[in-house]
Every structure is written in structure tokens, then in C-alpha cells.
């Protein structure tokens, strides 16, 4: 019986606290403008942040990015102040052979890191295209790519681990 009274009393107390929190003001009191800056920071060291006029962003806001008939813009939007200083340098993607397996049925599979957009390596088979060149052969230690300039052979690197 005593435990029941304690539970009723504590629930009534929690109800009063909840009502008090519901009725309490939610906005914190505003500090005067002179106290809004942290001590030790002067107004002279603050740099203004460059902002673009609202009309610049109007085309971005007005388009429906989830539309099925949406096409990419002809010119990519670059926020003011972030313009590139020069043209980007396009390099051929680095292709690295990590491993090769040959299944029981004789099908060869290569583990190659060729796509910079995908972290890690991907699985490829004969006939798949790697960095714009199809795979024509997979042996126990090499993968041969048929590039327009000639064949490119990827060699499996030796392990740096010591053999027992």
C-alpha cells in the first residue's frame, strides 16, 4: 500500500513537471549585442562572408530535382568564390590488379580497381570493359586488356608477406 502511494505521488510530480515544461517559454533570453561576441575576439578580425544575391540561386530552387524528365544543365553551377583557377587535368584512370581466381568450371574472375568513383576493387570476367578496354584473357597471374593502342597486360603483384 505504501509503495502504491509513492508511485502515485511520483507520477503526480512528473505530471506537474511536464505541465510546467509545456507552459515555460521556449526561446532563450537574448544577450545584448556587446556580449554576443566571445571574449578575446575583436570585430576587426572578423571577415565578412561573401554571399551571392538571391537571384543567383533562383534557378536551383525552382527546378524539380526529382523529375523523371530532368536533364543536366549545360553549364555546371559554381557558387561565387569557388570558381576553379584553371581547367581540370584529365588523366587516365589508374588500373590495379588485386587478385585472380579460377572456378571449378574453369571461369576466370579478376579483382581489379579501375573505377575511381567506386571505393575498392570490382569483380570482372572475360568480355567485361575495364577503363574503356575489354578483357580478352585472364591467366593465373595476368589480365589482358584490348586497348585501341594495343594490348595492355596487368600483372598480379607479388605478396610482400614472407612465406613460412
Q: 36-73: per-residue pLDDT in tens?
A: 555 555 555 556 666 666 666 777 777 777 777 777 77
At residue 15's C-alpha, the angle toward residues 10 and 19, to 5°, is 150
How much is the pLDDT for 134?
A: 92
Contact criterion met (CB below 8 Å) for 126 and 112: no
CATH code 1.20.1260 for 96-155: no
Q: What percent of the chain has pLDDT over 70?
A: 67
How much is the pLDDT for 135?
A: 92
Backbone angles phi, psi at 87, to 5 degrees: -75, 140
Q: Which three cell numbers stand for residue 39?
A: 571574449
Give CA–CA dist 158/43, Å, rounded. Answer: 60
For residue 126, give the nearest of 113, 140, 145 by alpha carbon. 145
Which residues is 155 bridged to in the sheet? 142
For residue 126, give the nearest of 156, 94, 102, 96 by alpha carbon. 102
Give CA–CA dist 10/3, Å, rounded. Answer: 11
Backbone angles phi, psi at 37, to 5 degrees: -90, 135
Contact criterion met (CB below 8 Å) for 102 and 89: no
- The verdict on pTM exceeding 0.75 is no
Domain positions in the chain are: 96-155
Give CA–CA dist 86/88, Å, rounded. Answer: 6
Give CA–CA dist 146/37, Å, rounded. Answer: 64
- In the predicted structure, residue 136 carries a pLDDT above the cut 90: yes
Amino acid at each position: 500500500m505504501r509503495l502504491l502511494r509513492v508511485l502515485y505521488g511520483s507520477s503526480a510530480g512528473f505530471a506537474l513537471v511536464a505541465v510546467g515544461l509545456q507552459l515555460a517559454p521556449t526561446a532563450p533570453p537574448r544577450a545584448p549585442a556587446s556580449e554576443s561576441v566571445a571574449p578575446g575576439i575583436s570585430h576587426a578580425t572578423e571577415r565578412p562572408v561573401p554571399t551571392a544575391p538571391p537571384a543567383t540561386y533562383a534557378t536551383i530552387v525552382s527546378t524539380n530535382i526529382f523529375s523523371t524528365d530532368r536533364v543536366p544543365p549545360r553549364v555546371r553551377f559554381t557558387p561565387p568564390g569557388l570558381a576553379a583557377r584553371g581547367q581540370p587535368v584529365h588523366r587516365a584512370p589508374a588500373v590495379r590488379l588485386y587478385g585472380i581466381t579460377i572456378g571449378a568450371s574453369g571461369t576466370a574472375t579478376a579483382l581489379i580497381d579501375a573505377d575511381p568513383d567506386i571505393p575498392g576493387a570490382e569483380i570482372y570476367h572475360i568480355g567485361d570493359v575495364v577503363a574503356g578496354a575489354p578483357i580478352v584473357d585472364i591467366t593465373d597471374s595476368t589480365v589482358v586488356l584490348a586497348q585501341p593502342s594495343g594490348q595492355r597486360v596487368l600483372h598480379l603483384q607479388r605478396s610482400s608477406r614472407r612465406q613460412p
